[in-house]
Amino acid sequence: MATKTVDRDQLCVNTIRTLSMDAVQAANSGHPGTPMAMAPVAYELWQNHLRFDPNDPIWPNRDRFVLSMGHASMLLYSMLHLTQVKAVNSAYESVGKVSVNLDDIKSFRQIDSRCPGHPEYRWTSGIETTTGPLGQGYATSVGMAIAGKWLGAHYNKPDFEMFNFRVYALGGDGCMMEGAAHEAASLAGHLRLDNLCWIYDNNKITIEGNTGWAFSEDVATRFIALGWNVTRVGDANDLAMLKRAFDNAKSTTGRPTLLIVDSHIAWGAPKLQDTHEAHGAPLGEEEIKGTKRNYGWPEDAKFLVPEEVLEHFKNGMGARGGKLRSEWMSLYEKYKGKYSKEADELIRIQKRQLPDGWDKELKPFPADAKGFAGRDCSGKVLNVLAKSVPWLIGGSADLAPSTKTRLTFEGADDFGPPGLAADPHHPTKIHYGGRNMHFGIREIAMGAVLNGMALTKVRPFGSGFFVFSDFSRPPIRLAAIMEIPVVYVFTHDSIGVGEDGPTHQPIEHLASLRAIPGLITLRPGDANEVLEAWKTIAKLRHEPVCLVLSRQNMPTLDRTKYASAEGVAKGAYVLADSKGKPDVILMATGTEVDLAVQAHAKLEKEGLKARIVSMPSWELFEHQDREYRDSVLPPDVKARVSIEAAGTFSWERYVGLTGESVGMRTFGASAPLKELQKKFGFTPDAVVEAAKRAIANNR
């Protein structure tokens, strides 16, 4: 059939739309409406503004594009295919093949396709972050913008602007309703991140119907109040106005930009133009034909990509991005000759490698019966480590004095826009090169921001009270899915919080985090275990970590009497043993390691042979081979006791059906620590009695 004459821009937009609707129809699953409505926005941004080289999608100074409304993934897959973004392997090398080919799009949402239902980082090159939960993409983009500011402040030199990239994130009404996005928007406005632009698809539709059911606030006014530059395009199809809006975002200084784009979901489909029916379901073959007819598209053609569309993107975005990357690489070669130390650091940052001699200043702690709180020795180790690893940066959700995560060495300074008067009574140096982050009381956003920073390859840490890991769990889970080495420092790890009571005493939190695949939890039992935990964390490249620390003191064990704390790297190790086969194995983490030590002495006096196993990390232990695991926990020793001031859920895997668990079976209570320990059975005598029961159970 004859087709209507369309200009080249419109041809590209319609190709994005038809690819999206065809893929969703073939899968019989997905969301075609938003990709169709936002196709002009994506086209204008990618073709005319985004500084991105399809031949090198990990070029460090590339602009970032985040699709916060991940259900519209076909929009992103269409762009990756049409711009011919190349795939990258784990050695950071472009492998030559296209990241998303037409067969991938044809198998959208099918097993092993490079086009899963929501964008997945590390699975498909060109995707900057995994997005699924609404609002998380927006929040993660703030971390990318923060990292961009930090990298520029540290590595830009006179005549060498190595980092000036921008971050764009596209989201919708659902993202705007989520608390993660609001927290992150508040932080971004405060930090004046003018390298950040959020695009808001204002289509007034969610799954249930019109947003009027649940959402009637004035988004523009809210963002103005948050310190953002706000601009609006009244018609998503108006490419000229979109260009003007993006130019405005790029020229704005001192404020992030919110670009509100009014759209009709599934624009172009006569039946669905003003409805929500296309939001979460295929259009149907007849509706697709009618829509294609309306575009002047061959209505029976499926997955049609005109050659001139590929050529147009190649000559536009491809040529521009290739030129920018080539110029950057030439600049880097000159930079390397003049600033060799910084150039070497940039390579290590990109490959997640540590500086030479990063651990030489990390010294063991001497034995000390009084010992340190886990948070205190962690603070000491962190400051030494961060001084040796210049790109280790982070902070807390307003709790640095309690979590001991403030970097105090000369030059650490505070991150923020120059001129920010944070506290006139305690002035500090504030600039975008500062290494102390202040996330405010925004735990959800903090987790997502840390993810964005890690995705930009700096090494971030964030801290808070362990009970508030509940707030951070969604971004922690995403970090595990993405395999990025974010560090979460959680203190006040048990009923040891004492008088603050049940709301602040974590009970089920260890079990909850241990349930996340790919996440490492570490609950060290004395100062040297904390030291070894940080050394282990520093070497990780693909695993996020939750370092769980005490508020109360832990005796620093005499390592001439007990096994070396280097066993922490293996997750669990024999801390102390008996002569001959043990009658019982005492397994403990954190502050309860000292309980095991005291109980061990009592059992030995009574003629019972006991082995102490310190188990700071189940996950690291499970990474060891069977031979090592059996050497620590011999299968033929069935009498076992777990000791942990937390819920006992899942300890069965180690104590078995005939073992005993000394732990929490209720929420805590408000009282001084010693009273709580007595009330809930965390005493040496209680451990001894549990050991005797375990022995009796296995006779």
With bands split at pLDDT 50, 70 and 90, how would you rate the model's confidence at 1?
very low
Do 108 and 26 form a contact (C-beta atoms < 8 A)?
A: yes
Beta carbons within 8 Å of 557's beta carbon, 6+ residues apart: 367, 526, 528, 565, 575, 593, 597
SS3 (DSSP) at 408: coil
Is a pLDDT exceeding 90 seen at residue 274?
no
Quick one: which of 60, 251, 56 has its CA closest to 152? 60
Beta carbons within 8 Å of 311's beta carbon, 6+ residues apart: none
At residue 92, the pLDDT reads 66
Phi first, then psi: give them for residue 574, nearest 5 degrees.
-80, 110
Is a pLDDT exceeding 50 seen at residue 482?
yes
User: For the ranges 74-78, 93-97, 659-663, which has the lowest average pLDDT?
Assistant: 93-97
Q: What is the mean pLDDT of residues 81-85?
A: 97
Q: What is the mean pLDDT of residues 507-533?
A: 97
Is a pLDDT exceeding 90 seen at residue 246?
yes
At residue 276, the pLDDT reads 36
With bands split at pLDDT 50, 70 and 90, how would you rate the model's confidence at 283?
confident
Q: What is the mean pLDDT of residues 326-353?
A: 97
Do 459 and 197 form a contact (C-beta atoms < 8 A)?
A: no
Is a pLDDT exceeding 50 seen at residue 343?
yes
Q: Cite the active site residues.
A: 443
Residue with tokens 């150039």: 343
Q: What is the mean pLDDT of residues 383-409?
A: 96
Percent of the chain with pLDDT over 90: 86
Q: Which residues pair with 126 in a beta bridge?
A: none
Phi first, then psi: give them for residue 415, nearest 5 degrees.
-80, 135
Do 510 and 520 form a contact (C-beta atoms < 8 A)?
A: no
Convert the pLDDT of each residue in 567-624 to its tens digit: 999 999 999 999 899 999 999 999 999 999 999 999 999 999 999 999 999 999 999 9
Q: What is the mean pLDDT of the chain?
A: 93
Domain 8-325, classified CATH 3.30.70.890, yes or no: no
User: For the ranges 150-164, 195-209, 276-290, which has the lowest average pLDDT?
Assistant: 276-290
At residue 132, the pLDDT reads 86
At residue 265, the pLDDT reads 63
What is the C-alpha to C-alpha distance for residues 139 and 121, in angstroms, rounded to an integer? 16
Phi first, then psi: give them for residue 229, nearest 5 degrees.
-80, 125
Is a pLDDT exceeding 90 seen at residue 273?
no
What is the C-alpha to C-alpha distance for residues 25 and 31, in angstroms, rounded to an integer? 10
- CATH 3.40.50.970 in the chain, residue ranges: 8-325, 368-555
At residue 399, the pLDDT reads 92
Quick one: which of 630, 641, 621, 634 has its CA closest to 580? 634
With bands split at pLDDT 50, 70 and 90, how would you rate the model's confidence at 280?
low
At residue 270, the pLDDT reads 39
Rounded to two decimals, what is the model's pTM? 0.95
At residue 2, the pLDDT reads 37
Convert the pLDDT of each residue in 419-455 to its tens digit: 887 677 777 899 999 999 999 999 999 999 999 999 9
At residue 278, the pLDDT reads 44
- CATH 3.40.50.920 in the chain, residue ranges: 566-697
At residue 6, the pLDDT reads 61
User: For the ranges 200-214, 308-322, 639-653, which has the lowest average pLDDT?
Assistant: 200-214
Q: What is the mean pLDDT of residues 199-204?
A: 91
At residue 236, the pLDDT reads 95
Is a pLDDT exceeding 60 seen at residue 266?
no
CATH class of the domain whose range is 566-697: alpha beta
User: For strand 196-202 and strand 573-576, is the pairing parallel, antiparallel, or unpaired?
Assistant: unpaired
Its CATH architecture, for the domain 368-555, is 3-Layer(aba) Sandwich (3.40)
With bands split at pLDDT 50, 70 and 90, how would you rate the model's confidence at 271?
very low
What is the C-alpha to C-alpha distance for residues 457 and 50, in angstroms, rounded to an integer? 20
Residue with tokens 């599934």: 266
Is a pLDDT exceeding 50 seen at residue 272?
no
Is a pLDDT exceeding 70 seen at residue 634?
yes
DSSP 48-116: HT----TT-TT-TT--EEEESSGGGHHHHHHHHHHTTPEEE-TTS-EEEEESS-HHHHHTTTSTT-SS-
Quick one: which of 399, 410, 472 has its CA closest to 438? 399
Q: What is the mean pLDDT of residues 393-409?
A: 96
